[in-house]
Amino acid sequence: MAKTNTTELLEALAAEIGENVYIDVAKWHLYLSNAKLHTVVAEQLYPLITSNAVNEDQVLQVLGSIPIKIGGGRREVPLIDLLPLQCQVALVDILEKYQREI
């Protein structure tokens, strides 16, 4: 995957996140690409990859800082509260893979 262009790497990361990570609401799975959140998540997590700081705690902290508007914007919920555990694990695995390949 030797991507040297930052934009190319971000796009690939966002695409992989969007295809593999979803929000779970009442057992409905809304993939981040469909929710238009995959790029935001990739951009927020990219600094962890470049600084070799990918670990579960750091990833969860970033996910907790991404607000998601629900109910027409009446409320905001941290993204971490909407992701099932298996998606959190998958996200960390994706980030670790990208970190190894940079």
Mean pLDDT of 52-72: 95
**How far is Cα 69 from Cα 78, in angstroms, rounded to an integer?**
9
3-state helix, strand, coil in the chain (%, to 5): 55, 15, 25
Tell me the per-residue pLDDT of 6-36, one tens digit each, with 9 for 90 and over.
Answer: 899 999 999 999 999 999 999 999 999 999 9
Q: What is the pLDDT of residues 44-58, one digit of tens each?
A: 999 999 999 899 999
**Cβ(38)–Cβ(17) under 8 Å?**
yes
Binned at pLDDT 50, 70 and 90, residue 4 comes out as low
The mean of the pLDDT values for the chain is: 94
pLDDT of residue 23: 98
Give me the pLDDT at residue 2, please.
Answer: 47
Task: Note the pLDDT of residue 51.
Answer: 93
Task: Report CA 69 to chain centroid distance, whole Å.
Answer: 16
- Using a cut of 0.85, tell me whether the model's pTM lies above it: yes
pLDDT at 6: 87
Q: Please state the domain extents for the chain.
A: 6-101
Query: Does residue 85 surpass a pLDDT of 60?
Result: yes
Residue 8: which H helix or E strand, with range? helix 6-20
